[in-house]
Amino acid sequence: MTTLTTTTAARRMGITPRHVRHLIKIGQLPAVKAGRDWLIMELDIKQAENRRKRPGRPSKGGAPC
């Protein structure tokens, strides 16, 4: 079971550490407080990344209509 800090998790997810802490605060990313740091399980990061990918309209460079 690998745990990561908010900084490492942010690098993996391509977001800022502040956004990682926000996701923890609103309950979208499970984490455990250890002293002054938050520890996030690697599996939870992968699941959070999958939830962030939303279906929707393709980008302008996508398939033609």
Number of domains observed in the structure of the chain: 1
- Asked, for residue 35, whether it belongs to a domain, the answer is yes
Counting every residue written for the chain, the total comes to: 65
**Cα 21 to chain center, whole Å?**
9
Q: What is the pTM of this model?
A: 0.74
- Asked, for residue 48, whether it belongs to a domain, the answer is yes
Partners of residue 39 on adjacent β-strands: 32
What domain range includes position 14? Answer: 3-52
Q: Is 1 exposed, middle or buried (0-12, 13-18, 19+ CB in 10 A)?
A: exposed
pLDDT one-digit tens code per residue, 9-57: 999 999 999 999 999 999 999 999 999 999 999 999 988 877 766 666 7
The helix/strand/coil state of 34 is: strand
